Amino acid sequence: MSHILIIGGSDAGISAALRAREVDPTATVTMLVADAFPNYSICGLPFYLSGEVADWHHLAHRTLGDIESAGIRVRLNTRALAIDPASHTVRVQTESQA
């Protein structure tokens, strides 16, 4: 079984994670999100600030539950600090380590 690590929880990260699950349903897919807000559309901020989108929660394309129900493990408040491709490791910092 393969393990795929996605760094980032924006639209690109979610798309990569969902596609990985589609290509290999047996793979373990984990997504690192530096903050507590997976899949929020940063591009939508002007619409929120202008009042066109009344609630900033509506900037999320998917909820955390939606993402997890697709079989993706989500690690919130986890920042990737270093990637070592040779050893297939990623050094991370969690909120409790900050």
Q: Return the SS3 of 22.
A: helix
pLDDT reading at 98 higher than 70: no
Query: Amino acid letter at 90?
Result: V
Cα 5 from Cα 32, distance rounded (Å): 8
Query: Domain spans of the chain?
Result: 3-86
Residue 18 has a pLDDT of 93
pLDDT tens, position by position, 48-82: 999 999 988 888 878 899 999 999 999 999 999 99
The confidence band for 22, taking pLDDT boundaries of 50, 70 and 90, is very high
11: part of which helix (H) or strand (E)? Answer: helix 11-23
3-86 in CATH: which number? 3.50.50.60
Residue 16 has a pLDDT of 94
C-alpha distances (whole Å) from 51 to each of 39, 41, 57, 58, 63 are 20, 16, 13, 12, 22
pLDDT reading at 32 higher than 90: yes
